């Protein structure tokens, strides 16, 4: 995989984690 693919993958995982956290802990956001 190239650097750009890794960057996109990491950003996707971070965004997904943020969305899950927002759903589980809405009072923090």
The boundaries of the domain holding residue 23 are 1-29
Task: Work out how many domains the chain is built from and give that number.
Answer: 1
- pTM for this entry: 0.65
Cα-Cα-Cα-Cα torsion 21, 29, 16, 12, nearest 10 degrees, comes to: -140
The answer for residues whose C-beta is within 8 angstroms of residue 9's C-beta and 6 or more apart is 1
Q: What's the pLDDT at 1?
A: 73
Q: Given this model, what pLDDT does residue 20 score?
A: 96
What are phi and psi for residue 3, nearest 5 degrees? -60, -40
Tell me what pLDDT residue 19 has: 96
pLDDT in tens, 1-29: 799 999 999 999 999 999 999 999 988 76
Q: Give residue 27's pLDDT.
A: 86
């Amino acid at each position: 995989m190239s650097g750009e693919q890794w960057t996109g993958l990491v950003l996707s995982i971070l965004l997904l984690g943020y969305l899950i956290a927002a759903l589980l802990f809405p009072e923090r956001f």
